[in-house]
Amino acid sequence: MAPAADVEDEIKDEKNPRPLDEDDIALLKTYGLGPYSTSIKKTEKGIKEMTKTIDDLRGIMESDTGLAVPSQWDLVSDKQMMQEEQPLQVARCTKII
Protein backbone atom coordinates (compact mmCIF):
# COMPACT_ATOMS: atom_id res chain seq x y z
CA MET A 1 0.00 0.00 0.00
CA ALA A 2 2.89 2.38 0.57
CA PRO A 3 3.82 2.73 -3.12
CA ALA A 4 0.21 3.54 -4.04
CA ALA A 5 0.13 6.31 -1.43
CA ASP A 6 3.33 7.80 -2.88
CA VAL A 7 1.75 7.86 -6.34
CA GLU A 8 -1.33 9.65 -4.97
CA ASP A 9 0.89 12.22 -3.22
CA GLU A 10 2.76 12.87 -6.48
CA ILE A 11 -0.53 13.37 -8.34
CA LYS A 12 -1.70 15.84 -5.67
CA ASP A 13 1.64 17.68 -5.90
CA GLU A 14 1.26 18.01 -9.69
CA LYS A 15 -2.24 19.46 -9.34
CA ASN A 16 -1.30 21.88 -6.56
CA PRO A 17 2.36 22.86 -6.98
CA ARG A 18 4.03 24.75 -4.18
CA PRO A 19 4.12 28.54 -4.62
CA LEU A 20 7.29 30.15 -5.92
CA ASP A 21 9.54 31.80 -3.39
CA GLU A 22 11.76 34.85 -3.99
CA ASP A 23 14.74 32.76 -5.14
CA ASP A 24 12.64 30.96 -7.76
CA ILE A 25 11.25 34.26 -9.06
CA ALA A 26 14.73 35.77 -9.28
CA LEU A 27 15.95 32.70 -11.19
CA LEU A 28 13.07 32.96 -13.67
CA LYS A 29 13.74 36.67 -14.23
CA THR A 30 17.41 36.08 -15.04
CA TYR A 31 17.00 32.79 -16.93
CA GLY A 32 16.89 34.14 -20.49
CA LEU A 33 19.08 37.18 -19.99
CA GLY A 34 22.50 37.58 -21.56
CA PRO A 35 25.53 39.08 -19.87
CA TYR A 36 24.86 42.58 -21.25
CA SER A 37 21.06 42.67 -21.24
CA THR A 38 20.68 44.89 -18.16
CA SER A 39 23.19 47.45 -19.43
CA ILE A 40 21.55 47.40 -22.88
CA LYS A 41 18.12 48.04 -21.34
CA LYS A 42 19.50 50.93 -19.28
CA THR A 43 21.13 52.44 -22.39
CA GLU A 44 17.94 52.05 -24.45
CA LYS A 45 15.93 53.74 -21.70
CA GLY A 46 18.45 56.60 -21.61
CA ILE A 47 18.25 57.01 -25.39
CA LYS A 48 14.44 57.16 -25.29
CA GLU A 49 14.53 59.77 -22.52
CA MET A 50 17.12 61.84 -24.39
CA THR A 51 15.09 61.65 -27.62
CA LYS A 52 12.00 62.84 -25.76
CA THR A 53 13.97 65.72 -24.22
CA ILE A 54 15.33 66.75 -27.63
CA ASP A 55 11.86 66.66 -29.19
CA ASP A 56 10.50 68.79 -26.35
CA LEU A 57 13.30 71.33 -26.79
CA ARG A 58 12.80 71.49 -30.57
CA GLY A 59 9.11 72.12 -30.14
CA ILE A 60 8.22 70.18 -33.27
CA MET A 61 5.36 67.75 -33.01
CA GLU A 62 5.30 64.68 -35.21
CA SER A 63 2.16 64.58 -37.32
CA ASP A 64 0.64 61.66 -39.11
CA THR A 65 -0.72 63.83 -41.94
CA GLY A 66 2.41 63.48 -44.06
CA LEU A 67 2.85 67.24 -44.37
CA ALA A 68 6.31 68.74 -44.19
CA VAL A 69 7.21 71.62 -41.94
CA PRO A 70 6.12 75.01 -43.41
CA SER A 71 9.77 76.02 -43.80
CA GLN A 72 10.20 73.16 -46.30
CA TRP A 73 7.18 74.06 -48.46
CA ASP A 74 7.84 75.15 -52.04
CA LEU A 75 4.62 76.94 -52.94
CA VAL A 76 5.89 78.42 -56.21
CA SER A 77 6.85 75.09 -57.77
CA ASP A 78 3.69 73.43 -56.42
CA LYS A 79 1.54 76.11 -58.06
CA GLN A 80 3.44 75.74 -61.34
CA MET A 81 3.05 71.95 -61.25
CA MET A 82 -0.70 72.25 -60.67
CA GLN A 83 -1.03 74.59 -63.70
CA GLU A 84 0.93 72.27 -66.00
CA GLU A 85 -0.85 69.05 -65.06
CA GLN A 86 -4.47 68.17 -65.67
CA PRO A 87 -6.86 68.81 -62.78
CA LEU A 88 -7.06 66.12 -60.15
CA GLN A 89 -10.24 64.11 -59.75
CA VAL A 90 -11.60 62.78 -56.49
CA ALA A 91 -13.86 59.74 -56.50
CA ARG A 92 -15.24 57.25 -54.05
CA CYS A 93 -15.38 53.54 -54.83
CA THR A 94 -18.81 52.24 -53.87
CA LYS A 95 -18.79 48.79 -55.41
CA ILE A 96 -16.11 46.44 -56.68
CA ILE A 97 -17.23 44.23 -59.56
Burial class (CB in 10 A: 0-12, 13-18, 19+), 90: exposed
Cα-based angle 4, 8, 10 (whole degrees, multiple of 5)? 115
- Report yes or no on whether pTM surpasses 0.75: no
Looking at residues 24-52, what average pLDDT do you find?
A: 91
**Whether residue 43 has pLDDT greater than 80:** yes
**Mind listing the pLDDT tens digit for each residue in 49-82?**
999 999 888 876 666 666 777 788 888 988 888 8
Give the pLDDT score at 1: 46
